[in-house]
Chain A
Amino acid sequence: MAKKLSKLNNKPFEMAIKVIFIPICLISIIPLWVIFVGSFTQDKAISDYGYQLWPRIFSLEAYTHLFTTPGLIGRAYLISITVTVIGVIVGITLMSMLAYTIANKNFKLAKGLGFYVLLTMLFSSGVVPYYILVTRYLHLKNTIWILIFNGDLINPFSVLLLTTYFRRLPQSLFEAAKLDGAGEFQIFLKIALPLSKPAIAVIGLLTMLIYWNNIYQALLFIDDQRLYTVPYLLYRLIFEYNIIQEGAQYTGTITPYQSVRMAMAVLAIVPVLFAFPFIQRFFIRGITLGGLRGGE
């Protein structure tokens, strides 16, 4: 490529770039590294010496504690997984159906519906009315349902994505199916969905991350410790020591709580790490093909 030729003649420049980027990349990773190291450090070492870049005294006690005396923590994982799985399934179902109707050219309400969805991205009622609605009128406070059925269930950005994708599907397929007497739902199920697998996968991933990492709903509506999600438990742990202490009284052991916190954080990142390469690929592809242009 003509462009590459122009870069060959600038060795010192190349070196300079490397000198800049290695530290930047290190900074990007170090914070997580500290957490990771902390989870493998003996708890007392953390209390005495603080967090380090390498375990002062290596120990697996945090993880063994997590896996042998789950208690509150195990339950939080159960809740998080349940909520995420149901949320993703229901969310994808509702969003894809909605997107299909918005993308449908024959549907009279399509444009209005699109606006209906879009407006929620621009304007929201704010916390107070939402809170009052859920607690006073829907009576969903401290239930697992509010963790699933809430304002995050339908993500307007995802709906928009799916709509664009559906619109780009070849209309001739739909028309042919209609001539054969297929109903809209059948077309949706047997033609549109199978063809949209990549888009659905992406939406699924995004929704999964939203549900897995969410603390907002729990923050507002959950007091009952048995309904804590993993991120919310993590959030509370950093605030309050006594939550783990209560668990300790229950089991009669002393909890290595600094390192256990870090170990929990590590385990909470695992699903995210798994999703990372997919998200990155989708994001880059989406940018270069789809929306944002910068050149000609």
Chain B
Amino acid sequence: MKVTAFNFSNKKRGIKRRGHALSLYLMALPGMLVIAIFCYLPMTGMILAFKDYDFSMGVFGSKWIGFENFRFLFESGVAWRLIRNTVGLNLLFMVTVQICAVITALLLNEIVKYRLAKIYQSILFFPHIISFVIVGYFAYAILDADIGIINSILSHFGIGKITWYSEPKYWPAILNFISLWKGLGFFTIIYLAGMVAIDPEYYEAVRIDGGKKWHEMWYITLPFIKPLICINVFLAIGRSFYGNLEFFYNVVRNTGQIFSTTDIIDTYVVRTLTVLGDFNMAAAAGLFQGVCGFILILLANWVVRKIDSESALF
């Protein structure tokens, strides 16, 4: 160890420390600036939800109208439909994916040949990295009324073609299936990783007591996975006010006829803003989503922290 370390005078150490801090400030500055401009600065614009936006007067000059925008949103029924679709679809997706992922992981866990399980796992995970634009493409290739594959198959069997893009009632199921297709691999890997960590001795104990495969799963594997499941479920609940914009925009493609079951807050806001140019409604819906979502995330995070403090977001 260097002897010189003991020879630092107080003054020198003070300067050194300040010099260090300055470098750190400078290093953090660009990043902080970008976040400040693109994330925090827009937050000041959230008051737009309470205003009647006028181009010429800008954000802060526009007239204050209190809760008028919100009143319109709720009285016209738009808000309720959006909430029902957003939260409802999110919960539907979550329940489906989690159940299927757990079952899939349980099955994968039983495969002896590790190589084989890994192959299945990789294939299942593949849809996760495909962008939603591509998802939109095969939704189109499969569901189009004239040239989609499903209708080809249906007419092959003599059943008439269905114009999928005009019937709202099919869409929760269609969207659910696509969400499952995309999310299954991801969560299966998570649960499988949890299962692999279970000590084999527990299974031994069950077998010694005369239990079958089913008992092994029910009494050992599942209870061990329970915290993981709870965490995933609550985090999903926390995010239930936020829909996946790219998913809906690409698959539903702004098809008005099916909005009653597929329009979510996110798509409504973007469409109202870019297509209709109605800043007020879009701002109000956006603020509503932000506030509800934030509260929900805080609550969910609190619950998750109770289960397993390391898995919480903060």
Contact = CB atoms under 8 A, between A and B. Distances in A.
B27 A280 contact: no
Chain A binding surface, main DSSP class = helix
A120 B39 contact: yes
A24 B125 CA distance: 12
Contacts of A154: 31, 34-35
A20 B141 contact: no
B224 to A, nearest CB: 5
A256 B225 CA distance: 51
A216 interface: yes
Contacts of B110: 7, 10, 13-14, 17
Interface residues of A, number: 109
A153 interface: yes
Interface of B: 2, 5, 17, 19-21, 23-28, 30-32, 34-35, 37-46, 48-49, 55, 58-59, 104, 107, 110-112, 120, 122-127, 129-138, 140-142, 144, 146-149, 151-152, 181, 184-185, 189-191, 193-201, 203-204, 207, 213, 216, 224-225, 227-228, 231, 245-246, 249-250, 253-254, 269-270, 273-274, 279, 282-283, 286-287, 289-290, 293-294, 297-298, 308, 310-311, 313-314
Given A50-B152, A116-B35, A188 B27 contact: yes
Among A95, A125, A159, A184, chain B packs the most CB atoms within 10 A around the CB of A125
Listed residue (B130, B142, B286) with the most chain A CB atoms within 10 angstroms of its CB: B130
A269 B181 CA distance: 17
Interface stretch (A196-204, A245-253, A286-294): A286-294
A124 B149 contact: no
Most chain B beta-carbon neighbours within 10 Å: one of A109, A127, A279:
A127
A62 B137 CA distance: 16
Contacts of A258: 147
8 contacts: A7-B112, A29-B123, A35-B141, A49-B147, A98-B28, A106-B21, A122-B298, A280-B122
Which 7 pairs between the two chains have the least Cβ-Cβ distance?
A294-B194, A129-B45, A126-B286, A98-B31, A295-B197, A213-B131, A125-B42
